[in-house]
Amino acid sequence: MNLSVILQDAHELEYRGYSLRIQPDLFFVSLFGRQVVAVAGVLGFICLSISHIRSTDQLPLVDAEIQTQPLQGDPSVFSPEELHLLQRRFGVHGPQTRLAQLFTRGVDQFQPLRTKTVNRLQVLKPVIKREARRHKVNPMLITAILFDEIQHSKPGEDLPFVVHSGFVSTHGPAQLGISELIHQGRLPLKPSKIQIAEARNLLMDSDANVELLAAKIARLKRQLGLPSDQILIASRSYVDAKAISTLAYLHNGKLDYPRRVLRYMQDTELHGLIYSKRRSIIPPLV
């Protein structure tokens, strides 16, 4: 019998004028029994949890070598093994410094700059959608990368004398380098000075730059063993979100970059920019 029920009955009888003696041994046995049952329940729950964790298979990230975290994990977070593999295969590096991260967050809060970035993306919208269809790439992934790179671009880096000076290694709205043209077979392994100058001019062309970004994402998908005809959608599955995080990381090489890209891909304003359609209003006839 439950101890609380016994005490309730005792108080009820005493209230009605009866005296009831409850032996101390009964209380001791009841309390001890409840403690044993509670401890056994906790131990059983722990054992079941451990067995469940051990029996949960890890999902493949993008190929047989890279493994993801459990389903409830953050897809933008990489394990040390994953980072070692990506660094060995692609030569990526670590996170931004804390000062650079604070600067990035501050820039994101500056509304006039955001408005300017969105307006520039509005101009690029036709080429974004066209190249996304051609290369089987999620247009929101292209848009998120472009938004971040344009939003955090340095003043004056797109000036012709700065571009051809060699002081900056990446150019255009997607911040692509000459090495990407080499990876895509559009430049020889050791290009001449004339070819390098022409490549820089090409990278500064906004439409060509977006096309090169879509082609880069498609190239990385193939290298990672992802289906080239499948469009990755972060909200569809953890595996897709992890693959998108990996592609974003390989593009920028900073550990805090995938999380920003995933956040921008869910941005309602950017969604509206890409998927909305403008219709002319026909005035009613009087």
pLDDT bin (cut points 50, 70, 90) of residue 166 is: confident
pLDDT of residue 254: 86
pLDDT bin (cut points 50, 70, 90) of residue 138 is: very high
Who wins on pLDDT, 103 or 145? Answer: 145
Helices in 205-281 by DSSP H: which ranges? 206-223, 238-252, 257-265, 268-275
Who wins on pLDDT, 251 or 64? Answer: 251
* Digit-coded pLDDT (tens) for 232-241: 999 999 999 9
pLDDT, mean of residues 89-95: 68
* Digit-coded pLDDT (tens) for 9-29: 444 434 444 443 444 444 444
Q: Name the range with the highest mean pLDDT among 107-111, 115-119, 274-278.
A: 115-119
Phi, psi values for residue 244, rounded to 5°: -65, -40
Could you tell me the pTM of the whole model? 0.70
pLDDT of residue 198: 96
Instruction: Name beta bridge partners: 177.
Output: 170
The rounded distance, in Å, linking the Cα atoms of 182 and 186 is 6
* Digit-coded pLDDT (tens) for 174-205: 999 999 999 999 999 999 999 999 999 999 99
The rounded distance, in Å, linking the Cα atoms of 62 and 240 is 9
pLDDT of residue 95: 57
Instruction: Name beta bridge partners: 67.
Output: 60
Who wins on pLDDT, 92 or 33? Answer: 92
Closest of 73, 179, 139 to residue 272, by C-alpha: 139
Quick one: tokens of 88?
A: 């060995």
